Amino acid sequence: MLRVKWLSLFLFAGVALAWKPGVDPELAQRIVDGAYSRLPKVQVFWEQGVDTLSLERGSPEACLPPKGSQPRKVRVGGQGEVIFLLAERARNEFRVISGEEALSAAEKFLPPGHLRIYLEVAGLPALEAREAYTLGAKVGGGYRRAYRVTYLDDWRKGERGWEGTLVFYLDLSDGAVDPQGTLSLIFLTESPQDCLYRLTVNLGAFE
């Protein structure tokens, strides 16, 4: 029995990563099992600090470094991340849920083919200025804007101004991006300068 368990761990550890626009029941169960520490955790998001920014449009002299606020960290996840968070919440509440239950709940919150992008920013002159952030993705030679934005409850006034996390929702359900490739996120800040910034996300780094 122990041998079978370790063999299962080895096989799951070797699964190639790629964003799954639509999570199937088998993957959902693996994510739930990882949340309960029955199996190794599935990587369900990509996260990276923002040390340098690339320009999609604008002059380096006017746009770099950004005038005003700028991102500090970006995190990207899909339906798999929602499933993990639901399972983690259930475990914290001493409840047990199945992969199918978590998948059904996740589909109502984040449809297949949609991504959720967390953008942590700092240096906003006023809390209301966070509404000026406009984020989307470069898809098929054009730009696609996020259809929804919300805010985490981590906002506070720091030494350089207001800082906190914006959460954007992006619809990529038409299959226009490669789930194993990269995705260019583009965004505008609160600055009146014509500066369009770009961040590159590795979709092959999570499921």
Of 150, 116, 112, nearest to 46 by C-alpha is: 116
User: pLDDT band at 147, cuts 50/70/90?
Assistant: very high
Average pLDDT, the chain: 92
Sequence-separated (6 or more) residues with CB below 8 Å from residue 114: 78, 79, 169, 170, 171, 172, 173
Dump pLDDT digits (tens) for 64-95: 999 899 999 999 999 999 999 999 999 999 99
15 confidence band (pLDDT: 50, 70, 90): low
**pLDDT at residue 17 in the model:** 73
14 pLDDT higher than 50: no
What is the distance between the alpha carbons of residues 188 and 183, in angstroms, rounded to a whole number? 17
List the chain domain ranges.
16-205
pLDDT tens-digit profile of 96-146? 999 999 999 999 999 999 999 999 999 999 999 999 999 999 998 899 999
Place of tokens 């996840």: 77
The upper half-sphere exposure of residue 45, i.e. CA atoms within 13 Å in the direction of its Cβ, equals: 15
Cα distances (angstroms) measured from residue 82 to each of 16, 89, 154, 186 = 20, 11, 19, 23
Q: What is the dotted CATH code of the domain comprising 16-205?
A: 2.60.40
